[in-house]
Amino acid sequence: MATLTRSHVMEIEGKEIAISNPDKLLWPQAGVSKLDYLAYLLEVAPCLLRYTRNRLLTVIRYPHGVEGKHFYQKNLPAYAPAWIPTAVWENTRYPVLNDLPTLIWMGNQAALEWHVSFHEISDEIPTELVFDLDPSTPDFADAIDAALKLKEVLDELQLPSWIKTSGASGLQVYVPIEQKYRFAETRRVGEFIARYLVDKYPRSLTIERLVKNRGKKLYIDYLQHWRGKTLAAPYSTRAKPDATVSAPLRWEEVPSIHPTQFTVHTMPERLQQTGDLFAPLLSPLNRVSLDPILSFLASR
């Protein structure tokens, strides 16, 4: 339970967290104050924490709100309370975001974006194969078109997939896989699928890394899926004017959605209506083998 006590001190699971500048507008255009933001985190925490648990975490902090300066933070600050769990990976001491007090303490520090690794801290075994669909134009229809084309290929390969908005301009597609592959293997599969799509739709899709060379083509990013790299967690807020969040979707609603529909204001009610649409990713029953594709690629 979380309660707001004297002088804006929030008591959560036996931990007291002093809330600084509770009325500060973190998303001025959307009218979202720090207290509004913390209320959002409290609402979505049971779901959000499923996807940050035991992962490497990178936050983006905006001390003066989304219209001010920001910085990336991986290491836990020295002034953090001793009760926040940590883990060391490649000489960086990361906070481990497994509980509500840690979430709220970091939210109070104006951590407005939550980016997590594709693997757990204890190993370097990816839990999903992920494609990040990044449009080169403001037209979100490009992302929708690419996502539906990608799903068609994944269906043909008998790979189940789940999709979410990035919370910014794109869409992200996840395939839950058996936890036995190295990133070098998942990259081979990701590259194979991305190149197939680009070969099939060369006028609208690309795997060109340099933005200046993409033109208006949508970028299929399979390279981000790697050890230590991160992607916005489901339900993470994003530092966009509308206070958008990374929202899990049903495939059938993809053709008619826009990322600005899913915000700090709207996501809690949607979550009550739909439940956690990404929950199936966590079930071992949905994890699929990449062996047939890897065998095919090895025989070429």
Q: Is the pLDDT of residue 268 over 50?
A: yes
Check residue 8 and give its pLDDT: 85
Percentage of the chain exceeding pLDDT 70: 98
Do 162 and 278 form a contact (C-beta atoms < 8 A)?
A: yes
- For the record, the structure tokens of 298 come out as 């090895």
Q: Is the pLDDT of residue 2 over 70?
A: no
Q: In the CATH scheme, what is the homologous superfamily, with its name and number, of domain 128-228+281-299?
A: DNA primase, PRIM domain (3.90.920.10)
Check residue 7 and give its pLDDT: 60
214-263 pLDDT tens trace = 999 999 999 999 999 999 999 999 999 999 999 999 999 999 999 999 99
CB neighbours of residue 279 within 10 Å: 14
Check residue 99 and give its pLDDT: 98
167-178 pLDDT tens trace = 999 999 999 999
77-98 pLDDT tens trace = 999 999 999 999 999 999 999 9
Check residue 4 and give its pLDDT: 52
147-203 pLDDT tens trace = 999 999 999 999 999 999 999 999 999 999 999 999 999 999 999 999 999 999 999
Give the start-to-end residue ranges of the domains of the chain: 2-122+230-248, 128-228+281-299
9-41 burial: b if 16+ Cβ within 10 Å, else e: ebebeebebebeeeeebbbeebebbbbbbbebb
Average pLDDT over the chain reads 96
135-147 pLDDT tens trace = 999 999 999 999 9
Within this chain, domains 2-122+230-248 and 128-228+281-299 share the same CATH topology? yes
Residue tagged 């059938």 (tokens): 252
Q: Is the pLDDT of residue 6 over 80?
A: no
Q: Is the pLDDT of residue 300 over 90?
A: no
Domain 2-122+230-248 carries which CATH code?
3.90.920.10
Q: What is the CA radius of gyration of the chain?
A: 20
Check residue 1 and give its pLDDT: 46
